[in-house]
């Protein structure tokens, strides 16, 4: 079962893109240009692109094409979980520090990609320590130590 009909997805995209083109054009028109010797200025190029984009989007609206397969609801939930994990990783990266946040996220990701709990935890621990060693010792990258620990 797919979440969207293929043609509907393309039509929705076309409408969104026309909206984007209108937004770009209005933003470009509102640019305040100081005196300049440049006969074109910063507005013309984005406006030209917005016009081109809206023409192309109209073609897409009239003749929607093939799409890839959309994920089933169950896969969509997993996708959101992966995205949530990556976001959580970003949030925790500086607070918990590289070692702990990476270990947790690696284990969770491994579990989401259907490793057993044991394998996931082992992967998390080994990969976090191994990569920390590689990045800091091998490549001289400074990684966050964790602000929550002072």
Q: Is 60:13 a contact under the CB 8 Å cutoff?
A: yes
Site for other proteins in 24-83 (CB under 8 A): 24, 27-28, 31-34, 36-42, 45-46, 49, 52-53, 56-57, 59-60, 63, 65-68, 70-71, 75, 78-79, 82-83
Minimum CB distance to other proteins, residue 150 (Å): 19
Q: What is the dihedral of CA 9, 14, 18, 20, to 10 degrees?
A: 50
Distance CA 114, CA 72 (A): 17
- Give residues with Cβ within 8 angstroms of 116, minimum separation 6: none
141 counts as binding other proteins under rule CB under 8 A: yes
Identify the residue among 90, 117, 129, 133 touching other proteins (CB under 8 A). 90
93 counts as binding other proteins under rule CB under 8 A: yes
Minimum CB distance to other proteins, residue 66 (Å): 6
DSSP code at position 137: I
């Amino acid at each position: 079962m797919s979440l969207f009909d293929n043609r509907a997805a393309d039509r929705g995209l076309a409408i969104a893109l026309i909206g984007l083109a209108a937004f770009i054009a209005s933003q470009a028109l509102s640019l305040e240009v100081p005196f300049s010797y440049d006969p074109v200025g910063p507005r013309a190029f984005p406006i030209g692109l917005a016009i081109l984009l809206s023409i192309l989007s109209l073609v897409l609206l009239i003749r929607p094409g093939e799409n890839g397969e959309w994920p089933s609801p169950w896969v969509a939930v997993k996708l959101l979980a992966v995205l949530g994990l990556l976001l959580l990783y970003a949030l925790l990266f500086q607070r918990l520090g590289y070692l702990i946040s990476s270990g947790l996220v690696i284990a969770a990701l491994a579990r989401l990609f259907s490793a057993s709990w044991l394998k996931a935890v082992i992967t998390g621990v080994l990969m976090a320590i191994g990569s920390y060693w590689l990045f800091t010792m091998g490549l001289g990258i400074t990684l966050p130590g964790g602000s929550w620990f002072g």
